[in-house]
Amino acid sequence: MNSPTTTSLRDVLSREIKIAELLRALIVVGPIVAAYFIARETALLNLGLVAVSLLIPALRLHLPPKAIAWHYLAILVTFAALFLAAPVKPLFVVLTALAGFLAVAATRYGEHFRTPGNWVFIPAVYLACEVREGVSASEALRHAGVIIASSPIALALVCAIRIYDQRRQGDVATTFGRPAAAWFLPALATAMAVFAAAALVEILDLAQGQWVMWSAASVVVGDLTASTDKLKQRAIGAFVGVPLGFLAGMVLPQSRVGYALAVLAATLTLISFSRYVLGFGLRCFFIALAASFAGGASGIAEERIVNVLIGGTFGLIAVALTEIVWLRVLRRPRSPG
């Protein structure tokens, strides 16, 4: 007979953790991590982000394999464009802002397009920065090539999950929702925030600049109140998760196995938790822990926290500016026709 404590713990876990999504993410990302251990190829761990980025919209929107394939193609094209543009800093800044704009502007054709739009922008920007961080141009090109060449594995695994779910549940999306009437202002705010974030990263040559750009886009979720709340959640997650991950990394020895498991756990937090603040906090924890296992934890806490706050601030400013300008346009008296 279960004790009240056991029952209460089970209830909390079932409420906080999306068990079904977590199991599917493990099925998708697990083989990729296993391949990393066999091949000793670091690029394969980054492939896990591509896999989860495909899985999240596929599960939330009940996408058929054909739609997943289009989403996959959009990720690869955006990643390739940003990766190739990275050596030309002004071009990279403009293309990154354009990617942010398009991720939101797609809601013009259906409000649910925001989810796949976000999960094109996030992996493309993250990987375009990550594969070039601290390596030569030739090594970065090899790393990107491995990701692109092995990416059909991620596509196949996600499609297999959806085919299985379709046969059991028959849930196939036939629409992406109604077109969003107010799509332009959020798209413009996202582009402004990402442009400012990317420009700052390139001008100051900030390490792990993808966190600044990701955060800038992430907080643009509606009006200023909603965006402020999103930044608060990200700030709490970073302030708590990053230092704890750093401290845990100081206690534990550097380990290739620990690094891979920490990266796996960080990837799984993208899909596994009901509350955003909890998922983001744990993601910060595991990323800091992974950096510790890799021997690069010096300054990681301050760097991640500052990047999250800078990017989020750009997002808030962009939302505020677009709201102010739009209100002025609405209040402007129209001349009689």
pLDDT tens-place string over residues 48-95 = 999 999 999 999 999 999 999 999 999 999 999 999 999 999 999 999
Please report the pLDDT score of residue 198 as a whole number.
95
- Mean per-residue pLDDT for 286-313? 79
Give the residue among 144, 145, 104 at the shortest CA–CA distance from 121.
Answer: 104
pLDDT of residue 93: 97
% pLDDT > 90, the chain: 53
Q: Is the pLDDT of residue 8 over 80?
A: no
Torsion, Cα of 57, 98, 223, 61 (10° steps):
-10
Amino acid letter at 169? Answer: Q
Q: Range with the lowest mean pLDDT among 102-111, 150-159, 194-203, 296-305?
A: 296-305
336, pLDDT greater than 60:
no
Q: Rounded to an integer, what distance in angstroms lies between the CA atom of residue 53 and that of residue 35?
A: 19
Contact of 154 with 276, CB cutoff 8 Å: no
Residue with tokens 């028959």: 170
Is residue 283 within 8 A of residue 268, CB to CB? The reply is no
pLDDT band, residue 201 (cuts 50/70/90): very high
pTM as predicted: 0.90
Supply the pLDDT for residue 182. Answer: 83
Residue 4: its pLDDT value, please? 62
State the pLDDT at residue 272. Answer: 87
Those residues whose C-beta lies under 8 Å from the C-beta of residue 261, and which sit 6 or more positions away, are 33
Where does the pLDDT of residue 337 fall: very low under 50, low under 70, confident under 90, or very high at 90 and above? very low
Structure token digits, residue 257: 């196995």
**What is the per-residue pLDDT for 293?**
85
Most confident of 10-24, 90-104, 201-215, 312-326: 90-104
